[in-house]
Amino acid sequence: MGIEPDRLQFSWVSSAEATKFVQVVTEVTRAIKDLGPNKNLVKTMPKVA
């Protein structure tokens, strides 16, 4: 669909794995910040109603 593969992430994190959760979130946010704002599938036409 034209979405960068890094923008989407699936992970399996158990409720007992707090450290893994933090690690995943940190990594994903870093990856997305590197990509910059998403430009595709964003509405460009002005709203009329």
Q: How far is the CB of 30 from other proteins (least distance, A)?
A: 14
Provide CB contacts within 8 A for 24, sequence distance 6+.
9, 11, 13
User: 14, 15, 19, 40: which one contacts other proteins (CB under 8 A)?
Assistant: 40
Q: How far is the CB of 29 from other proteins (least distance, A)?
A: 15
At 31, give phi and psi (nearest 5°): -60, -40
Q: Nearer to other proteins by C-beta: 5 or 37?
A: 5
Residue 28's Cβ-count burial label (10 Å; 0-12, 13-18, 19+) is: middle
Q: Which residues here bind other proteins, judged by CB under 8 A?
A: 1-5, 9-12, 24, 40-45, 48
